[in-house]
Amino acid sequence: MATKEEIENFMITDFPQAKCIVESVGEQSATVRHAIGFDELRPGGTVSGPVLMAVADYALYVAILGELGMVSHAVTTSLTINFMRKPSPAKDIIGKCTLLKIGKSLVVGEVSLYSEDDTNAVAHVVGTYSIPK
């Protein structure tokens, strides 16, 4: 299994644009964080949907690296998001990923997204990644 530091270095090198940070990596799971500022907001004072999708995608990738090691050409094949509550414009978004299946070529995971310190998820994601051989 990869360590949190290995994964952080990998993500910084390979996704220099991403604004997420790795909070923790566990058994088939990961938690990530995304700071929220003007760039992430949309009218009505809430976090834009694409930001939430990006956090979920990042959390999935981190959980996969934690489980499979530094697989650098894994790609998302599908992602479904349900938006459930209005995120706070003043809180970080926290993404908590749990992997549901680790197959030879396909990984399935789910991510619950939260405004920090809130126990009700703002959105829920199920995504699949294809793992190159």
Give the helix/strand (H/E) hosting 109: strand 106-115
Give the helix/strand (H/E) hosting 94: strand 93-102
Binding mask 57-86 vs a copy of itself (x if CB under 8 A, - otherwise)?
Answer: x--------------xx-xxxxxxxxxxx-
Q: How far is the CB of 119 from a copy of itself (least distance, A)?
A: 12
Task: For residue 119, state whether it binds a copy of itself (rule: CB under 8 A).
Answer: no
Stretch that binds a copy of itself, among 27-35, 62-70, 88-96, 116-124 (CB under 8 A): 116-124
Instruction: Please work out the total of residues on this chain that contact a copy of itself, with binding judged by CB under 8 A.
Output: 41
Task: For residue 42, state whether it binds a copy of itself (rule: CB under 8 A).
Answer: yes
* Burial degree of 115 (CB within 10 A; 0-12, 13-18, 19+): buried
- CA-to-CA separations, 32 to 3, 19, 23, 93, 132, in angstroms, rounded: 14, 10, 5, 8, 24
- The position carrying tokens 């405004």 is 115
104 beta partners: none
Q: How far is the CB of 51 from a copy of itself (least distance, A)?
A: 8
Task: For residue 100, state whether it binds a copy of itself (rule: CB under 8 A).
Answer: yes
Other CB atoms within 10 Å distance of the CB of residue 3? 10
Binding site for a copy of itself (CB under 8 A): 14-15, 17, 38-39, 41-44, 48-50, 53-54, 57, 72-73, 75-85, 100-101, 103, 105-106, 108, 110, 120-121, 124, 126, 128, 130
